[in-house]
Amino acid sequence: MAGQGALRRTPLYQRHLALGGRMVEFGGWEMPVQYSGIIDEHRAVREAAGLFDISHMGEVEVRGPDALSFLQRLVTFDVAAIPAGRANYALMCRPDGGIVDDIFIYNLGNDYLVVINAANIAKDVAWMRDHAAGFDVDLADASDRIGMLALQGPAAEELLAHVAGRELAALPFHAVARGSVLDVPALVARTGYTGEDGFELFVATADVDRLWDGLLDAGRDSGVKPCGLGARDSLRFEACLALYGHEIADDINPYEARLGWVVKLDKGDFIGRETLQQVKQEGVKRRLIGFEMVGRGIARGDYAIHTTDGTPIGRVTSGMPSPTLGKNLGMGYVPVEFSTEGTEFDVIVREKPVRARVVKMPFYRPRYKK
């Protein structure tokens, strides 16, 4: 996946250009932000299905006698509770409770596959290797060997059944299995980042282009469209799924980010456990909230949040008009006393205060097939 100049490119770069993809920089990669348009692609995923190139994501293979005990030490979730053939969301935290990255762990039976964020690959791999001392474990950065596609939306299951068979398409939520998709060997998981049912497909980088072409061709009649990072962001935003560098970061702890459900304090020791136990006991001082704009204006990431009398209290992490709900929505951090539903504050939009109101999260209820 070597790139040209400072930016890296996935194996599908030329196909993105051929499809009219508008390329942008993202986490050190040159990626398509849209093809037919963000709203059009967003609606395709909500109503039919969309195909995303996510080959920029990182993958780390974890093997060896101490693979489980190493991961138990490394992450907040109870990895022992993930049976073979299943996957789960987890966090890697610092000793002070800040989030190193949010990850997905796939239990493949004899080993584990850990998926990490594209912008954090070098940092995460170094973190994992730094904390592998004393464990009989082998860590392999497979990011350049593995390509990923995400097939997401209500039509995804039927399309996968057509090209891979009913058995793979019938995988339960968060299950993972090896199989063949359009005669391409693949690891298929019922996971995703859109708030819709769907699958993520792991294949050898040499096979990504063949699988991409085949899926788009097979899905043409059912409305499957290629989708870029713009729709990926708006889809995860409506479902209030965290984005690293926005809702989560190394100076934000899981309880502030409403991710306490992925912290299993009773599983045994892990990096950050002592601090997080204290945070849970004492409570947080700030919290991630969702809000809708009451006044005219669009909230954007890093916009300031003030009280209605002008005192700075927080910042916006993500904000945009919601294509599905037709409202200007946002997420951000505020002191806990301002986090109750119905509380009002001002978002500073172009140096002017615009009224906003705290609303229930998520904005869009995910439709995972469970």
Angular region, 240: left φ>0, alpha ψ -120 to 50, beta rest: left
Q: Which residue has the tokens 């869009």?
A: 364
Whether 264 is in a domain gets the answer no
Judge if 336 and 191 occupy the same domain.
Answer: no
> Does 301 lie in the same domain as 224?
no
Tokens encoding 310: 């002008």
211 in the same domain as 149: yes
**Residue at which a domain ends, from 238, 272, 298:** 238
> CB–CB of 106/146 below 8 Å?
no
Q: Do residue 68 and residue 114 come from a single domain?
A: yes
The count of structural domains within the chain is 3
Q: Is residue 276 part of a domain?
A: no
In a domain, 198, yes or no: yes
Q: Supply the pLDDT for residue 370.
A: 78
Domain containing residue 39: 13-57+144-238
Could you count the other beta carbons within 10 Å of the beta carbon of residue 38? 22
My answer on whether 154 and 72 are in the same domain is no
Q: Are residues 18 and 38 in the same domain?
A: yes
**What's the pLDDT tens digit per position in 291-329?**
999 999 999 999 999 999 999 999 999 999 999 999 999
Could you tell me if residue 7 is inside a domain? no
Find the helix or strand (DSSP H, E) in which 12 lies: none
6 within domain boundaries: no
Task: Check whether residue 52 and residue 64 sit in a common domain.
Answer: no
The answer on 182 and 82 residing in a single domain is no
Give the separation between CA 53 and CA 211, rounded to whole angstroms: 11
Encode pLDDT of 82-122 as tens digits. Answer: 999 999 999 999 999 999 999 999 999 999 999 999 999 99
Residue 95 and residue 137 in one domain: yes
Tell me, yes or no, whether 53 and 148 share the same domain: yes
Q: Is 272 exposed, middle or buried (0-12, 13-18, 19+ CB in 10 A)?
A: buried
Q: Are residues 110 and 148 in the same domain?
A: no
pLDDT one-digit tens code per residue, 192-245: 999 999 999 999 999 999 999 999 999 998 899 999 999 999 999 999 999 999
Q: How would you class 342 by CB atoms within 10 Å of its CB: exposed for 0-12, middle for 13-18, buried for 19 or more?
A: exposed
Model pLDDT, residue 4:
45
- Could you please report the per-residue DSSP string of 194-234? SSB-EEEEEEEGGGHHHHHHHHHHHTGGGTEEEE-HHHHHH
| pLDDT tens-place string over residues 118-148 | 999 999 999 999 999 999 999 999 999 999 9
In terms of domains, do 45 and 169 share one? yes
Q: Is residue 156 part of a domain?
A: yes
Average pLDDT value for the chain: 97
Which tokens go with 196? 């819709």
**In the predicted structure, residue 154 carries a pLDDT above the cut 90:** yes
181 bridge partner residues: 184
Rounded Cα–Cα distance for residues 290 and 297 (Å): 16
| CATH code, domain carrying 21 | 3.30.1360.120
Find the CATH number of the domain harbouring 126.
3.30.70.1400
CB half-sphere exposure, 292, CA atoms < 13 A = 14
Q: Is 262 a domain residue?
A: no
Sign of CA dihedral 206, 28, 333, 236: negative
Given a contact cutoff of 8 angstroms between Cβ atoms, the answer to whether 107 and 84 are in contact is: yes
List Cα–Cα distances, 17 to 21, 30, 31, 39, in angstroms: 5, 11, 10, 20
Of 101, 123, 141, at which residue does a domain stop? 141
Q: 87-121: buried (b, 16+ CB within 10 Å) or exposed (e) per residue?
A: bbbbbbbeeebbbbbbbbbbbbeeebbbbbbbbbb
Indicate the residue among 113, 141, 169 that finishes a domain: 141
pTM of the entire predicted model: 0.96
Does residue 266 lie in a domain region?
no
Domain of residue 352, CATH code: 2.40.30.110
